Structure 1
Amino acid sequence: MRTAEIREKYLAFFEEKGHLRLPSFSLVPENDPSLLFTSAGMAPLKPYFLGARPLFGGREWRRVVTCQECLRVGDIENVGRTGRHNTYFEMLGNFSFGDYFKKEAILWAWEFLTSPQWLGLDPGRLWVTVYEDDDEAYALWRDLVGVPEERIGRFGEDENYWPGGAITHGPNGPSGPCSEIFYDRGPAFGTPDETGPNTGSGDRFVEIWNLVFTQYDRQGPIPGPGILKPLPQKNIDTGMGLYRVAAILQGVEDFYRTDTFYPLIERVALLSGKPYEGKASVSHRVIADHIRAVVAALADGVVFANTGRGYVVRRLLRRALRHGYLLGLQEPFLHRLAPLVAEALGDFYPEMRENLPAVERQIGLEEERFLETLEGGLRRLDALLSGLKPGEVLPGQEAFRLYDTYGFPLDLTVEIAAERGFGVDTEGFERAMEAQQERSRAAMAFEREIFKRSAQVLEELYAERGATEFLGYGALEAEGTVLALLAGDQSLSEAGPGTEAQVVLDRTPFYAEGGGQIGDFGFLEWPSGRARVETTQKTEQGLFLHRARVEEGILRVGERVRAVVDPARRDTERHHTATHLLHAALRAVLGPHVRQAGSLVAPDRLRFDFTHPEALTPEELERIELLVNRWILADFPVTWRYMPLEEARREGAMALFGEKYGEVVRVVRVEGGPLPGLESKELCGGTHVRRTGEIGAFLIQKEEAVSAGVRRLEAVAGEWAIRFARGSLNRLKALAERLSVGEAALEERLEKLLQELRAREKEVESLKARLVQAELKGEVALLEKGGLRYGVVELSGVDPAALRQAADDLVQRGADVALVTSGGQAVLKLSPRAQEGGLEAGALFRALAARSGGRGGGKGALAQGAGLDPERARKALPELLP
Structure 2
Amino acid sequence: MRTAEIREKYLSFFEGKGHLRLPSFSLIPENDPSLLFTSAGMAPLKPYFLGAKPIFGGKEWRRITTCQECLRVGDIENVGRTSRHNTYFEMLGNFSFGDYFKKEAILWAWEFLTDHLKLDPARLWVTVYQDDDEAYAIWRDLVGVPEERIGRFGEDENYWPGGAITHGPNGPSGPCSEIFYDRGPAFGTPDETGPNTGSGDRFVEIWNLVFTQYDRQGPIPGPGILKPLPQKNIDTGMGLYRVAAILQDVEDFYRTDTFFPLIEQVALWSGKPYEGKASVSHRVIADHVRAVVAALADGVTFANTGRGYVIRRLLRRALRHGYLLGLKGPFLHRLAPVVAELLGDFYPEMRENLPMVEKQIRLEEERFLETLEGGLKRLDALLSGLKPGEVLPGQEAFRLYDTYGFPLDLTVEIAAEKGFGVDTEGFQQALEAQQERSRAAMAFEREIFKKGAQVLEELYAERGATEFLGYGALEAEGEVLALLAGDQSLGEAGPGTEVQVVLDKTPFYAEGGGQIGDFGLLEWPGGRARVETTQKTERGIFLHKARVEEGVLRVGERVRAVVDPGRRDTERHHTATHLLHAALRAVLGPHVRQAGSLVAPDRLRFDFTHPEPLTPEELERIELLVNRWVMADFPVTWRYMPLEEAKREGAMALFGEKYGEVVRVVRVEGSPLPGLESKELCGGTHVRRTGEIGAFLIQKEEAVSAGVRRIEAVAGEAAIRFARGILNRQRALAERLSVGESALEERLEKLLSELKAKEREVESLKARLVQAELRKEVALSEKGGLRYAVVEMPGLDGEALRQAADDLVERGADVALVLSEGRAVLKLSKKAKERGLEAGSLFRALTERAGGRGGGKGALAQGAGLDPATAKEALPGLLPVE
Please, what TM-score do these two structures have when normalized by structure 1?
0.56
1:28 positional shift: 0.5
Change (3 A) 1:619 1:120: closer
Aligned-partner Cα distance in 1 for 2:382–2:825? 23
Following TM superposition, by how much is the alpha carbon of 1:296 offset from its aligned partner in structure 2, in angstroms? Answer: 0.3
CA offsets per residue over residues 531-552 of structure 1, 9 Å max, x none?
A: 9999999999999999999999
- Rounded to whole Å, the distance in 2 between the matches of 1:388 and 1:356 is 45
Change (3 A) 1:387 1:29: same
Of stretches 710-719 and 104-113 in structure 1, the one that deviates more from structure 2 is 710-719
1:756 and 1:379, CA in 2 relative to 1: closer, same or farther beyond 3 A?
farther
Quote the offset at 1:406 in angstroms. 1.6
Q: Secondary structure at the match of 1:37?
A: coil
Distance 1:678 1:169, change over 3 A: closer
Q: Against the structure 1 CA distance between its residues 356 and 123, is the aligned structure 2 distance closer, same or farther, given a 3 Å change threshold?
A: same
Looking at structure 2, the residues matched to 272 and 582 of structure 1 have their Cα atoms a distance apart, in angstroms, of 52
Aligned residues: 878
SS of the aligned residue for 1:337 comes to: helix
- CA offset at residue 422 of structure 1? 1.4
Kept in 1: contact 2:56–2:611 (CA 8 A): no
Among candidates 799, 823, 826, match of residue 825 of structure 1 = 823
Residues 778 and 739 (structure 1 numbering): CA distance in 2 closer, same or farther, change over 3 Å?
same
Check the 8 A contact 1:355/1:593 in 2, yes or no: no
Contact preservation (8 Å) 2:56, 2:589:
no
- Whether contact under 8 Å (1:358, 1:593) holds in the other structure is no
1:415 CA displacement: 1.1
Offset of residue 431 of structure 1: 2.2
Q: Over the residues paired in the alignment, what is the CA RMSD in angstroms?
A: 20.5
Write the distance in 2 (CA, Å) between the matches of 1:441 and 1:128.
Answer: 54
Q: Which has the larger radius of gyration?
A: 1
Q: 1:18 to 1:709 in 2, by over 3 A?
A: closer
User: 1: distance between equivalents of 2:774 and 2:145?
Assistant: 92
- Structure 2: distance between partners of 1:270 and 1:462: 52
Distance 1:416 1:607, change over 3 A: farther
Q: 1:481 to 1:294 in 2, by over 3 A?
A: closer
CA 1:464–1:48: 2 relative to 1, 3 Å: farther
Q: Is the 2:406–2:445 Cα contact (8 Å) retained in structure 1?
A: no
Structure 1 residue 381: deviation in Å?
A: 1.2
Per-residue deviation at 1:432?
A: 2.3
Q: Distance in 2 between the 1:858 and 1:424 partners?
A: 57
- CA distance in 2: counterparts of 1:793 and 1:246, whole angstroms: 34
| Stretch of structure 1 that moved more, 497-506 or 131-140 | 497-506
- Against the structure 1 CA distance between its residues 335 and 466, is the aligned structure 2 distance closer, same or farther, given a 3 Å change threshold? closer
Q: CA deviation at 1:189?
A: 1.2
Contact 1:366 1:708 in 2 (8 A): no
In 2: Cα distance, 1:816 partner to 1:373 partner: 63
Deviates more, 1:608-617 or 1:365-374: 608-617
Given that residues 22 and 611 in structure 2 are in contact (C-alpha distance below 8 angstroms), is that contact kept between their aligned partners in structure 1? no
Matched with 1:713 is 711
- SS of the residue corresponding to residue 441 of structure 2 reads helix
Conserved? CA contact 1:336–1:360, under 8 Å: yes
- In structure 2, the CA distance between the partners of 1:469 and 1:133, relative to structure 1 (3 Å rule), is farther
With 856-865 and 386-395 compared, the bigger mean Cα shift is at: 856-865
d(CA) in 1 for partners of 2:549, 2:606: 36
1:46 aligned residue: 46
The answer (yes or no) to whether the contact 1:31–1:660 under 8 Å persists in 2 is no
The farther-off stretch of 835-844 and 510-519 is: 835-844
Query: For the Cα contact (< 8 Å) 1:332–1:364, is it kept in 2?
Result: yes
> What secondary structure, in the 3-state scheme, does the structure 2 residue paired with 1:442 have?
coil
Give CA deviations for 1:386-436 in whole Å, capped at 9, x if unaligned. Answer: 222222111111111211222101111011111222110012112223344
Which 10-residue stretch deviates more, 745-754 or 39-48? 745-754
**1:797–1:445: structure 2 CA closer, same or farther, 3 Å change rule?**
farther
Higher alpha-carbon deviation: 222-231 or 762-771:
762-771
Provide the rounded CA distance (Å) in 1 between the counterparts of 2:595 and 2:452. 31
Distance 1:849 1:38, change over 3 A: closer
Which stretch of the first structure deviates more once superposed, 619-628 or 302-311?
A: 619-628
Q: How much does 1:600 deviate?
A: 11
How far residue 342 of structure 1 moved from its aligned partner, in angstroms, is 0.4
Q: 1:373 to 1:478 in 2, by over 3 A?
A: closer
CA drift of 1:864 comes to: 66
What is the distance in 2 between the residues matched to 1:243 and 1:438?
47
CA distance in 2, matches of 1:846, 1:100: 36
Determine the C-alpha separation between the residues in 2 that align with 1:329 and 1:245.
32
Deviates more, 1:803-812 or 1:21-30: 803-812
Query: Which residues in structure 2 correspond to 1:379-528 (within 5 Å)?
Result: 379-437=377-435, 515=513
- Asked if the contact 1:174/1:217 (under 8 Å) is kept, the reply is yes
- Kindly state the Cα deviation for residue 229 of structure 1 after the two structures are TM-superposed: 3.0
- Post-superposition Cα deviations, 1:75-113, rounded to whole Å, max 9, x if no partner, equal 111111111100000000000000000000000000000
Larger CA deviation: 638-647 vs 209-218 = 638-647
Q: Given that residues 485 and 501 in structure 1 are in contact (C-alpha distance below 8 angstroms), is that contact kept between their aligned partners in structure 2?
A: yes
Offset at residue 23 of structure 1 (A): 0.3
Deviation at 1:370, TM superposition (A): 0.6
Q: Is the 8 A contact 2:637 2:668 kept in 1?
A: yes
Q: Secondary structure at the match of 1:301?
A: coil
**Cα pair 1:287 1:323 within 8 Å, conserved:** yes
Instruction: Say which of 830, 837, 846 aligns to 1:839.
Output: 837
CA contact (8 A) 1:303 1:710 kept: no
Is the alpha carbon distance of 1:307 and 1:863 closer, same or farther for their aligned partners in structure 2, counting shifts above 3 Å? farther
Measured in 2, the distance between the counterparts of 1:156 and 1:766 equals 70
- CA spacing shift, 1:881–1:636, aligned 2, 3 Å: closer
Point out the more displaced range, 191-200 or 679-688. 679-688
Residues 58 and 588 in structure 2, CA contact (< 8 A), matched pair in contact too: no
- Whether contact under 8 Å (1:500, 1:549) holds in the other structure is yes
Residue aligning to 1:29: 29
* Matched-pair contact (CA < 8 Å) for 1:220–1:226: yes
For the structure 1 residues 370 and 820, does the alpha-carbon distance in structure 2 shift closer, same or farther, using more than 3 Å as the test?
farther
Tell me if structure 2 keeps the 8 A contact 1:50–1:232. Answer: no
1:143 Cα deviation after fit:
0.3
Kindly state the Cα deviation for residue 172 of structure 1 after the two structures are TM-superposed: 3.2
Change (3 A) 1:443 1:291: closer
Give the % identical residues.
90
Q: Is residue 492–residue 553 contact of structure 2 (8 Å, CA) maintained in 1?
A: yes
**Which sits farther off after the overlay, 367-376 or 621-630?**
621-630
1:200 deviation in Å?
2.4
Residue 385 of structure 1 and its aligned partner are, at CA, apart by: 1.6
Cα 1:680–1:199, aligned 2, differ >3 Å: closer, same or farther? same
Q: How far is 1:782 from its partner?
A: 92
1:668-708 Cα shifts (integer Å, max 9, x gaps): 99999999999999999966689999999999999999999
| Offset at residue 186 of structure 1 (A) | 1.1
**562-571 vs 804-813, which moves further:** 804-813
CA-CA distance at 1:6 after TM superposition: 0.2
Instruction: Please tell me whether the aligned partners of residues 354 and 593 of structure 1 are also in contact (alpha carbons under 8 angstroms).
Output: no
